[in-house]
């Protein structure tokens, strides 16, 4: 397998964490996603993946998989140990709910292509920064409420890290970088503190943009 | 089971389609999501689901599930027939990839809470409409490219409708309503034409906003 990724991408961070939890050591290729012509830098990557987005995982069978959560579900089905979802149906749903509350309700509003587009339609730089903080704040508050109602163990969905923790960790790091201290969400802060003790998480977070 | 939903929500439409494909007839309760105080209208719903978003599915065990894709994965694990994902691992990943290319790359940029927020930060109404068209255009073009590379059957991921078709159908209907004819994406147009022949899809699309 080969992972196409970027060090600042939190979606790529999710896949790196999943691979590390599974103990899978794969070749990595860096694809720049910042800067006006970032997506033009690697024509051979655009040939393989016309959208140019990261992460993408090339399987041993030569199939290119995209979308971080689809890649993580694939890894979990193909390499079942350790599982990235709990066993009980309702708990599996809860892990996926929190993963999507981040991957579909927060992160899509924040990537470079979106913030760049806001600038193109005339939104000022300080309003773009506040836009990002707004959606992180709304989204993590929702996650905190989900945890208050359903959390039963050390991590988001039980006593082992799951797909939900994999999505939470990079988003929490980026929240702190955006000037939003995690202590306003005590359950999230406690889970993230535990995740920082796990090398698969600590070694694979997103790098800062600057 | 009981489904909390709104007739205009395309995320709720996905769950209605999944339930119909599974032949599950569940009680439905309408939750208004439009208008300035839409989320304040049902305090008893906010008690159950503090975010106030739809869809939400209350299981027979009294667990409230949120996030449409998490609900659909739950339904597929709990009621396996007919399956909403193909059998082969790479094909399952492809179905999830297309589902997420819509549910995580297009739809999160379009819902009322996002377009209302754009207005609050000073983006003009005509620019908000073009914002929506832009992300639908970019996103469906990406889906068309994915289909060109990986489609092997009548539907997105094989010869049976999957989670991918469930996400595509409401998004395609809303694209047409936004003034984007589907014939610019011939593979999508062909799949959607086939889906329109299936009552589970035709009867459960999103209603227009007006």
Q: What is the CATH number of the domain that holds B135?
A: 1.20.1050.10
**Total of domains in chain A:** 2
Q: What is the pLDDT of residue B177?
A: 96
Average the pLDDT over each of A104-118, B32-46, B154-168 and give the range with the smallest value: B32-46
Asked whether residue B41 falls in the same domain as residue B6, the answer is yes
Distance to chain A for B108, nearest Cα, Å: 6
- Asked if B92 lies within 8 A of A104 by C-beta distance, the reply is no
Distance to chain A for B183, nearest Cα, Å: 20
Res B35 pLDDT > 80: no
Determine, yes or no, domain membership for A210: no
Res B124 pLDDT > 90: yes
Domain boundary among A26, A46, A78: A78
Inter-chain Cβ pairs, chain A and chain B, closer than 8 A: 118
Contact predicate B24/B80, CB 8 Å:
no
Contact residues for B85 (Cβ-Cβ < 8 A; gap 6+) = B76, B92, B95, B96, B157, B162, B163
Contact predicate B98/B167, CB 8 Å:
yes
What 8-state DSSP symbol labels residue A160?
S
Q: Does A126 touch chain B if contact means CB atoms closer than 8 Å?
A: no
Domain boundary among A54, A78, A102: A78
- Asked if B92 lies within 8 A of A109 by C-beta distance, the reply is no
Q: From B29, B33, B70, select the one nearest A150 (Cα to Cα).
A: B70
Determine, yes or no, domain membership for B194: yes
Q: What is the pLDDT of residue A90?
A: 96
Looking at chain B, list the stretches that DSSP marks H as alpha helix, in order from N- to C-terminal side.
10-21, 43-48, 68-78, 89-103, 112-120, 125-150, 163-177, 186-195, 199-202
Asked whether residue A103 falls in the same domain as residue A191, the answer is yes
Q: What is the mean pLDDT of residues B138-156?
A: 95
Asked whether residue B6 falls in the same domain as residue B65, the answer is yes
Res A80 pLDDT > 80: yes
Q: Does A73 touch chain B if contact means CB atoms closer than 8 Å?
A: yes
Q: What is the mean pLDDT of residues A18-45?
A: 80
Burial class from Cβ neighbours inside 10 Å (0-12, 13-18, 19+) for residue A190 reads middle
- Asked if B123 lies within 8 A of A122 by C-beta distance, the reply is yes
Q: Does B140 touch chain A if contact means CB atoms closer than 8 Å?
A: no
Domain boundary among B46, B78, B110: B78
pLDDT band at B41 (very low <50, low <70, confident <90, very high): low
pLDDT band at A210 (very low <50, low <70, confident <90, very high): low
Q: What is the pLDDT of residue A68?
A: 98
Asked whether residue A71 falls in the same domain as residue A145, the answer is no
What 8-state DSSP symbol labels residue A208?
P
CA–CA gap between residue A159 and residue B134 (Å, rounded): 42
Asked whether residue A37 falls in the same domain as residue A61, the answer is yes
CA–CA gap between residue A143 and residue A149 (Å, rounded): 10
Query: Which residue(s) pair with B30 in the sheet?
Result: B5
Dihedrals phi, psi of B186, to nearest 5 degrees: -60, -35
What 8-state DSSP symbol labels residue A81?
S
Asked whether residue A108 falls in the same domain as residue A127, the answer is yes
Res B167 pLDDT > 70: yes
Q: What is the pLDDT of residue A36?
A: 54
Q: How far is CA A185 from CA A64, A142, A159, in A?
A: 37, 10, 20
CATH number of the domain at B14, please. 3.40.30.10
B70, B77, B105: residue with CB nearest A100? B70
pLDDT band at A209 (very low <50, low <70, confident <90, very high): confident
Cis ω before B204 (30° cut-off from 0):
no
pLDDT digits (tens, 9 = 90+) for A100-115: 999 999 999 999 889 9
CA–CA gap between residue A120 and residue B46 (Å, rounded): 37
Determine, yes or no, domain membership for A209: no
Average pLDDT, chain B: 93
Q: What is the pLDDT of residue A40?
A: 53
Q: Does B66 touch chain A if contact means CB atoms closer than 8 Å?
A: yes
Distance to chain B for A103, nearest Cα, Å: 7
Res B147 pLDDT > 90: yes
Domain that holds residue B193: 89-202
ipTM of the complex: 0.96
Contact predicate B38/B81, CB 8 Å:
no
Beta strands A2-5 and A27-30, pairing class: parallel
Q: Does B44 touch chain A if contact means CB atoms closer than 8 Å?
A: no
Asked whether residue B72 falls in the same domain as residue B110, the answer is no
Q: Does B18 touch chain A if contact means CB atoms closer than 8 Å?
A: no
Q: What is the pLDDT of residue A48?
A: 86
Query: Which residue(s) pair with B65 in the sheet?
Result: B57
Q: What is the mean pLDDT of residues B84-98?
A: 97
Asked whether residue B98 falls in the same domain as residue B195, the answer is yes
Asked whether residue A118 falls in the same domain as residue A198, the answer is yes
Contact predicate B140/B173, CB 8 Å:
no
Dihedrals phi, psi of B114, to nearest 5 degrees: -80, -45
Contact predicate A86/A92, CB 8 Å:
yes
Residue A197 in tokens: 């003790």
Asked whether residue A70 falls in the same domain as residue A170, the answer is no
A70, A74, A90: residue with CB nearest B63? A90
Q: Calculate Rg over the CA atoms of chain B.
A: 17
Residue position matching structure tokens 């086939």: B194
Residues of chain B neighbouring A63 (CB-CB closer than 8 A): 90, 93
Q: What is the mean pLDDT of residues A194-207?
A: 97
pLDDT digits (tens, 9 = 90+) for A30-39: 887 766 545 5
Asked whether residue A112 falls in the same domain as residue A133, the answer is yes
Q: Does B115 touch chain A if contact means CB atoms closer than 8 Å?
A: no
**Which has the higher per-residue pLDDT, B53 or A35?**
B53
Determine, yes or no, domain membership for A153: yes
- Asked if B73 lies within 8 A of A50 by C-beta distance, the reply is no
Determine, yes or no, domain membership for B162: yes
Q: Does A59 touch chain B if contact means CB atoms closer than 8 Å?
A: yes
Q: What is the dihedral of CA A104, A109, A111, A117, to 10 degrees?
A: 140
Asked whether residue A98 falls in the same domain as residue A154, the answer is yes
Cis ω before B13 (30° cut-off from 0):
no
Q: What is the pLDDT of residue A35?
A: 60
Distance to chain A for B10, nearest Cα, Å: 14
Determine, yes or no, domain membership for A207: no
Q: From A54, A5, A49, A12, select the one nearest A174 (Cα to Cα).
A: A12
Q: What is the pLDDT of residue B192?
A: 98
Q: What is the pLDDT of residue B43?
A: 78
Contact predicate B60/B1, CB 8 Å:
yes
Beta strands A2-5 and B56-58, pairing class: unpaired
Contact residues for B55 (Cβ-Cβ < 8 A; gap 6+) = B3, B4, B5, B9, B11, B12, B14, B15, B66, B68, B71
């Amino acid at each position: 397998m080969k992972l196409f990724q970027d060090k600042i991408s939190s979606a790529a961070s999710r896949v790196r964490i999943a691979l590390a939890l599974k103990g899978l050591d794969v070749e990595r290729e860096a694809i720049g996603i910042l800067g006006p012509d970032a997506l033009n830098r690697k024509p051979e990557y655009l040939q393989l993946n016309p959208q140019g987005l990261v992460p993408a995982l090339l399987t041993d069978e030569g199939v290119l998989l995209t979308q971080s959560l689809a890649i993580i579900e694939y890894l979990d089905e193909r390499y079942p140990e350790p599982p990235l979802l709990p066993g009980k149906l309702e708990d599996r749903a809860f892990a996926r709910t929190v993963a999507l509350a981040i991957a579909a309700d927060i992160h899509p509003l924040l990537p470079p292509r979106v913030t760049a587009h806001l600038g193109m339609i005339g939104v000022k730089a300080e309003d773009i920064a506040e836009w990002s903080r707004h959606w992180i704040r709304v989204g993590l508050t929702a996650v905190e409420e989900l945890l208050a109602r359903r959390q039963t163990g050390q991590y988001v969905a039980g006593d082992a890290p799951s797909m939900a923790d994999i999505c939470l960790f990079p988003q929490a790091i980026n929240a702190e970088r955006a000037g939003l201290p995690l202590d306003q969400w005590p359950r999230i802060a406690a889970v993230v503190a535990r995740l920082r003790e796990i090398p698969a998480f600590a070694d694979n977070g997103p790098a800062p943009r600057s």
